[in-house]
A and B are shown apart, each in its own frame.
Chain A
Amino acid sequence: MSVARTPLAERVRWAIHDGFVLTRRNLIRYRRIPTLLVFSTVQPVMFVLLFRYVFGGAITDLPPGAEAYVNFLMPGIFVQTAIFGATQTGIGLAEDLTSGIIDRFRSLPTARSAVLAGRTTADLLRNLFVVLLMTGVGYLVGFRFQEGPILAALAIGLAVLVGFAFSWVSATIGLAIGELESVQAASFVWIFPLTFASSAFVPIEGMPWWLQAFARNNPVTIWANTMRAFTLGETYVRAIGETMGGLVLRSGLWIAAILAAAVPLAIRIYRRT
């Protein structure tokens, strides 16, 4: 009936096909339970409003180009939201492991990569939706992209890409732990320090020196600054002593490094489970 070895092109074609089938499966969930989507947007929107109005008045001394706090804040919140959203990947996989449906997928002649690809792609699309919605909310409270539609699109693309990379980190955690509550708890252990000890919400100059040392090298800082480069432009980039090219390069390298570490690890754990 079937041959033991299928040619590579054929295998790639089926891997894409299977990934697509499972992406669709994961997205149907949001159509069936629209409240899921509502709740995954409530928190980011709340963050936008709280930070904008609670901290907005207190935070002065912003770099040139980002004088209005909302313009400083939104790029940071995009990155933070994308990373928070990525924790859903691990939670979804842990759910699937517990329910037994992953056993079914693994007993089918389905590409080994499809379960992970389908989950991370669906989460990428959900993250894109959330970021777009937040942009809308941001516009209502005074945020504006300063640098035109192309750089605006790049900013949104970067946020979604960061989320995608962290989806694989989250997948690794979800598959390794496998138990829903523990996965949820484990996600927040690293996610809060990572996103808050950065330039996402406030300039790092106000932090104690030891925290500055961490925050300066935190990739979240680099991504947030790169997003600001896309949304605020050259004035801001010069004010923080960076160059557009340097920021973009470092952002890309970080994303590539995270993917290069997390993707093979997640796949290895998936094969083992």
Chain B
Amino acid sequence: MSVIEVEGLRKSFGEVVALDGVDLEVAEGTVFGLLGPNGAGKTTTVRILTTLLHPDAGLARVAGYDVVREAEALRHVIGLAGQAAAIDPNLTGRENLEMVGRLYHLSPTEARRRAGEVLERFDLAEAADRPARTYSGGMRRRLDLGASLVGRPRVLFLDEPTTGLDPRSRLELWDVIRELVREGTTLLLTTQYLEEADRLADVIAVVDRGRVIARGTADELKARVGGEVLAVRVSDRSRVPEAAGAILGLGPGGGKVDNNTGEITIPVGGDGTRLLVEAVRRLDAEGIELADISLRRPTLDDVFLALTGHAAEEAPTPPNGTRRRRRSP
């Protein structure tokens, strides 16, 4: 049974079209990953599904409630953790959670009990009675995630839950999220980290410029790239453009250059070994020295390139709070 149904969702902010007809369906008890670059429309989708924003057109039902007409009833059964840790830094962890519990209209006793549970579970019991402003970035995120669970939501929305976290905190948070899902919560998660969607989501929808351009399991999406990917790194970064010019034409569908790492990747279909040899030969002929060359299974990064013709921008995201979400698409 579908717990989230979205049909033809549209939303514009002035001239900017944030959602250009989004359709989604999420089955109860699954994890759905909304994957796409900044500005693709992920946050706008989440804001509409959590009643924070009205769509211009289209229909959206969550847990059977219409997100516009039955917003009030819907708010009882959803939980939301946005990009910024939406906690009060002056309240202790426990006070933050109890406050959210009270705002879900739980009794004081019940709010206190659930706050205690969440603190235990998210490994915050020791810091429970310290003001949240003394918490580390990872602890704040865990507290924020915990706050979204105090109401025991049927459907949980996590908007870029690990953006801005260091790798260790990210791994910890992934564990927590996986455990949640085992207990049957339906989760819709947005991310611009391809690896994250791969690790957490049962079904992934790739969004780009306000549209869903592909959906399927991670494996299905990878299969769309077809076969393997040839990855090349040259020793001298200044010669990357030259090297790209020599070998990008090799694969059936071109390839791309990652400007951050200088890595050149080319989907090669089933013809990997021959093309690898050919690439080595061409680079050798140009006198370009190789640092690394390999054939690998495609990542979702490669998928995005294959689907959109442009790379998923994995530009460094600004730190928490500086990205203003209120009027942004």
Q: Which residues of A contact B75 (CB under 8 A)?
A: 107-110
Contact in complex: A97, B326 (CB < 8 Å): yes
Contact in complex: A99, B84 (CB < 8 Å): yes
User: Within 8 Å of chain B (Cβ to Cβ): is A33?
Assistant: yes
Contact in complex: A25, B52 (CB < 8 Å): no
Q: How many A-B residue pairs have CB under 8 A?
A: 91
User: Within 8 Å of chain B (Cβ to Cβ): is A217?
Assistant: no
Given known pairs A33-B90, A100-B84, A104-B86, the reply for A1 and B76 (CB within 8 Å) is yes
Contact in complex: B325, A103 (CB < 8 Å): yes
| Choice from B85, B91, B324 contacting A98 with Cβ under 8 Å | B324
Interface size class of B (residues with CB under 8 A): 35 or more
A134 to B51, CA, bound (A): 45
Contact in complex: B51, A107 (CB < 8 Å): yes
User: Within 8 Å of chain B (Cβ to Cβ): is A47?
Assistant: no
Distance (Å) between the CB of A13 and the closest chain B CB? 10
Distance (Å) between the CB of A167 and the closest chain B CB? 19
| Choice from A2, A14, A21, A114 contacting B73 with Cβ under 8 Å | A2
The listed residue with most A CB atoms (<10 A of its CB), out of B87, B105, B131, is B105
Given known pairs A28-B95, A100-B86, A106-B52, the reply for A4 and B80 (CB within 8 Å) is no
| Choice from A3, A21, A100, A178 contacting B82 with Cβ under 8 Å | A100
Q: Which residues of A contact B82 (CB under 8 A)?
A: 100, 103-104
Distance (Å) between the CB of B72 and the closest chain A CB? 7
Contact in complex: A32, B104 (CB < 8 Å): no
Contact in complex: B99, A107 (CB < 8 Å): no
User: Within 8 Å of chain B (Cβ to Cβ): is A37?
Assistant: no
| Choice from B76, B83, B102 contacting A100 with Cβ under 8 Å | B83
Q: Which residues of B contact A2 (CB under 8 A)?
A: 72-73, 76
Binding site for A on B (CB under 8 A): 47, 50-52, 70, 72-73, 75-80, 82-88, 90-91, 95, 99-100, 102-105, 131, 147, 151, 321, 324-327
Binding site for B on A (CB under 8 A): 1-4, 6, 14, 17-18, 21-22, 24-25, 28-29, 32-33, 97-101, 103-110, 114, 178, 273
